[in-house]
Amino acid sequence: MALLDVSNLNVCFGLKSGLVKALYDVSFRLERGERIALVGESGAGKSILGFSIVNLISKPGFIESGSIKLDGKELTSLSNRQLRHVRGKRIAMIFQDPMMTLNPVISVGIQMVEAIRSHTPMSKKDAKKIALDRLAQVQIPSPELRFEQYPHELSGGMRQRVIIAVAMILNPDIIIADEPTTALDVTIQAEILELLKHMCEVCNVALILITHDLGVVSRIAERTMVMYAGRIVEEGPTLEIINDPQHPYTQGLLSALPQMALPGQRLNQIEGSMPSLMNHPKGCAFHPRCKYATEKCSNAQPNYIYSGISTVACYMVEDMLEEFSEYRDL
Amino acid sequence: MKNTPLIQLSGVEKRFDIEQSWLNEVRINKGKISRKKEQVHALNGVNLTIQKGESLCVVGETGCGKSTLARVILGLNSLSAGQIHYQDQRIDNLNERQRMLFRRSMQMIFQNPYASLNPRMTIYQTLSEPVSFHNPQLSQDDVDYKVAKLMESVDLSPDLSDYYPHEFSGGQRQRISIARALSVDPDFIVADEPLAALDVSVQAQVLNLMMDKQEERGLTYLFITHDLTVVEHFSNRVAVMYLGKVCELADTKTLFKSPKHPYTQALLSAIPRLDNNSIQPIRLVGEVPTPFNKPQGCVFQARCAHANDRCKIEEPKMVLQGDTSSVACHAVEEGRI
């Protein structure tokens, strides 16, 4: 049994102008200790997916249908009180801006002790010991000093380390990291990614990394899911997807990166921009921007098929596979 | 085209006073009362020449003075010391009226297209204002024609000219910013992280547009960014900054092939690459220093693995290397790296 099993998840937002759908039939599985990445541009729904796993989407958003199972236990039907035992303890989250996540008027140490004591009955002294241990584990020099300090006294990278320590403090099964390095400098980003990977390996924690940076993905995740307009369009092993992307959107996304072109050459660009949630196109959501689009694409949503490299939802790939199998039969 | 300097910076320094109440500034030292002002040293003696027609990229960490450099060149901030020359004319000591002549030839594209366009002005108003201000002799029809041409040149339909900025997407807004910068036909454009707020596929659109415009108009760019993959793709030369100083200046190819300064090496090893994951990022030890108090010796020595006693006392100077790059590092100079 998979650690986390999300199937046919639909998330909607009830707005004045009507119901707006943000996630369309999202299904995926996560095994224990596995690291997967959710990639896509802003507005693709990656953060919504991350938030809805722990049911953190705020009103007017709600889970319309679908199931999220953690170790076989349904999460969508839990009450807020029951969810509190899951959030932080079984599934922890790391957010983009560490300054927003840490409470600026409480010292780092007290925040860590608080996190432990709200989930497990433990004396303050024991909790402090664990907290100091964790701070040392995330390679923070002189943890005793940092324990007493306030978030504004730490640098950006240091703050994100503290956040990782807080997320790891109760030995969760899953960590959901929403753009954890976007606010950081390149050199610090590399350190934090290395640390996150290391901590996940040591503690056997599964990681869902939400990011828009494909370079980051290749460094950390074993499996990648590419999202476009609320749907997963391609899913498979990271290296294979990067080397041989199947879905036209993934191809476009990769070839738009400056490192894929020769210096001074024009970059391949995807014309247009992602549709807003309000006017989701009929059929495949990518077809207005897709250079391979046919009439079929604008009529119906393609099903997921396995291309031999990744699981893709695209008629072009489907047709190609069919052609290939006919050729093989001859 | 090569080797005609357009802009020359010599010994440029910029310090900002930290606003404090005077009580915080008072110090008692050996029975004497003195008043000490704290300053942020944003730029500590930058020497840089921007050649005509090139795109020079400035890279570095947050707080290293990249944006301040852009702002002092354009005269948005005054200098604390040093000189800036545009072609042969000194421009850092001009008054507002004299500077106006140079505003036409130097323009800026800002980081956040959501904040840099006036939300109460239509695109037509945004684009026509600089055109008619700097060309008072133009008739209304000429201005209209020029605005339409500008919009076309950045792949926007002129029909959209009566729309407001909030009706456009981020990429379109950044294109409008580019059109506004081009509206006065400048020679030199400073782009301060123009891609940072944009998505990957839109970044490609904007980057392509900037490269096309350079080819069409022979523009000179000063491109400020922290994304090194963009640097490798876009620029001719790179200046690496650390704590208000340029620590390495080289052709893009040379820099990416053989980075010399220990900081540049660490920076390049940290790029998240798609292909080879075998390169281990070089870990920099120690805290990122703050620009509050200028450190003695080399600015990088606290985090440098190759630092020795000389680095702690003596400030390294830019030294020209065999492959035309210049590096400010004692270790490179002595051949220790």
- Per the domain annotation, does A300 fall within a domain? yes
Q: Do B253 and A256 touch (CB under 8 A)?
A: no
Is B52 an interface residue toward A (CB < 8 Å)?
no
The whole-number pLDDT of residue A224 equals 95
Interface of B with A in 181-200 (CB under 8 A): 199-200
Place of tokens 């292909």: B275
**A130, part of any domain:** no
In a domain, A103, yes or no: no
- Model pLDDT, residue A56: 87
Cα(B204)–Cα(A267) distance, rounded to whole angstroms?
6
| The predicted structure's pLDDT at residue A303 | 92
- Asked if B273 and A218 come within 8 Å (Cβ–Cβ), the reply is yes
Q: Is A223 exposed, middle or buried (0-12, 13-18, 19+ CB in 10 A)?
A: buried
Q: What six digits make up the tokens of A217? A: 């993905």
Element (H, E) at A231: strand A231-237
Residue A205 lies inside a defined structural domain of this protein: yes
Is A264's CB within 8 Å of B272's CB? no
Contact A256 B201 (CB under 8 A): yes
Which CATH number belongs to the domain containing residue A235 in this structure? 3.40.50.300
Domain count, chain A: 1
Query: Count of A–B CB contacts within 8 Å?
Result: 107
A190–B200 CB contact, under 8 Å: no
A185 contacts in B (CB within 8 Å)?
Answer: 61-62, 226
In angstroms, the CA A7 to CA A94 distance is 23
Cβ contacts of residue A284 below 8 Å, gap of 6+?
A: A290, A293, A297, A298, A301, A302, A313, A314, A315
Burial status of residue B125 (CB atoms within 10 A of its CB: 0-12, 13-18, 19 or more)? middle
Mark the ranges of chain B whose per-residue pLDDT is less than 70: 1-2, 276-279, 286-288, 293
The token pair that represents B99 in the structure block: 């500077």
**Structural domain includes residue A239:** yes
Q: A235: domain range? A: 4-90+172-329
As a whole-number percent, the residues of chain B with pLDDT over 70 amount to: 97
pLDDT in tens, chain A (330 residues): 789 999 999 999 988 888 889 999 999 999 999 999 999 888 888 889 999 998 888 888 899 999 999 999 999 999 988 998 898 889 999 988 888 889 999 999 999 999 999 888 899 999 999 999 999 999 888 899 999 999 998 888 889 999 999 999 989 999 999 988 887 888 888 888 989 999 999 999 999 999 988 888 888 899 999 999 999 999 999 999 999 999 999 999 888 888 888 887 888 888 877 888 888 888 999 999 898 999 999 999 999 999 888 999 999 999 988 888 888 776
Pick from B200, B211, B228: which is nearest to A257 by CB?
Answer: B200
Residue A219: closest C-alpha in chain B: B277
A243 near A218, Cβ under 8 Å? no
Residues contacting residue A143 through CB under 8 Å, at least 6 positions apart: A132, A135, A136
Owner of token pair 């807080």:
A166
Would residue A164 count as lying in a domain? no
Q: HEC string of A54-90?
A: CCCCCCCEEEEEEEEEECCEECCCCCHHHHHHHECCC
- Convert B64-94 into a string of H (helix), E (strand) and C (coil): CCHHHHHHHHHCCCCCCEEEEEECCEECCCC
Kindly state whether residue A12 falls inside one of the protein's structural domains. Answer: yes
Amino acid identity of residue B138, one-letter, is L
Of B199, B270, B274, the CB nearest to A42: B199
pLDDT at B2: 54
> Does B257 reach chain A within 8 Å, measured CB to CB?
no
Furthest C-alpha separation in chain A:
74
B188: which strand partners?
B106, B220
Q: What's the rounded Cα separation, in Å, for the pair A178 and A306?
A: 28
**Omega of the bond leading into A121 within 30 degrees of 0 (cis):** no
Token pair for residue A66?
A: 């679908």
Q: What is the CA radius of gyration of chain B?
A: 22
Give the per-residue pLDDT at B1: 44
Distance CA A186, CA A327 (A): 48
Residue in B closest to A213 by C-alpha: B200
Residue A57 in any domain: the answer is yes
What's residue B58's pLDDT?
A: 94
pLDDT digits (tens, 9 = 90+) for B105-157: 999 998 888 889 999 999 999 999 999 998 889 999 999 999 999 998 888 88
- Is the reported ipTM for this assembly greater than 0.85? no
Beta strands B32-35 and B39-51 are: unpaired
* DSSP H helical ranges for B225-307: 228-234, 252-257, 262-269
B230:A258 CB<8 A? yes
Q: Collect all residues of chain A within an 8 Å Cβ-Cβ radius of residue B234.
A: 258, 263-264
The whole-angstrom separation of Cα A235 and Cα A217 is 13
